Amino acid sequence: MDFSKQSTRKLIVAAAVIGAVAVALSAYFSGPAPVAPLAAPAPVAAPASASSSASARKAAPVAAAPRAPVVDKEPAPPSEPVATRTKEQAAAALMALPELQAWSALLEKNSNGKVRGALIEYDPTPRKLNGKNYWQFSYVENSAEAAQRWESFLVSSSDDEILVEDATNDEIISLARWRREKHPAKRTSIDG
C-alpha cells in the first residue's frame, strides 16, 4: 500500500509540473502575450521572474525567449509562398490579358454573340510547380454545342506570374515566351 501512495503522489506532482509547463507554453505561443515581456527592458523582467515560484521561474525564460523565433513563425516557409491571389482574382487577371480580351471579342463578333470566350477551371486543386501553387484554367470557345479549348494557363496564387501550357511541345512556358513564339494576338481560330 505504501508503494501505491508514493506512486500516486509522484503522478500528481508530475501532472502539476506538466500542467505548469503547458500553461507557460500556451502563454508563449498565444500571440500578443509574448509581446509585452519583449517590449519591457530586460532588467525589469529578471527580478520579477526571480521572485516568482519555481514553475513561474521555468516559464519566465520561455516568455523571455529571443525575438527571432516569434518572427520566424509568422511568415510561411520559402518553399510554400503565402497565397495572395484567390481563384477569382486569378481568373480576373487572366481575362484581363489583352490576348484573351481580343479572342473573346473576335468570337462574339464572328458568331453574332452565339459563341463566347470563357475560362474553365480544369482542376480545382492548385498545381504545385517549382515550390509555388498555381490555379489551373483553360480559355475555351464556348458555344451551345461544346466548349473547345484554345489555351491552358497556370496563374500563381502567390504573385503575378502567369504561365502557359504549351501542348505542342508539352512544356510550361512564360507569358513573355508565349507571346514571342506563339503570337497569340494574331490568332483568329481554335487551330491558331
For 149-158, how does the pLDDT look when each residue is reduced to its tens digit (9 = 90+)?
Answer: 999 999 999 9
Name the pLDDT band for 36 (thresholds 50, 70, 90). Answer: very low
- b/e per residue 162-183 (b: at least 16 CB within 10 A): bbbbbeeeeebbebeebbeebe
Q: What pLDDT shows up at residue 77?
A: 53
Q: What pLDDT shows up at residue 37?
A: 40
131 lies in which domain range? 87-186
Whether 174 and 95 share a structural domain? yes
Residue 134's closest CA among 168, 117, 116, 159?
A: 159
- The count of structural domains within the chain is 2
Domain end, chosen from 26, 47, 73, is at 73
Q: What pLDDT shows up at residue 45?
A: 43
Whether 55 and 123 share a structural domain? no
Q: What pLDDT shows up at residue 168?
A: 87
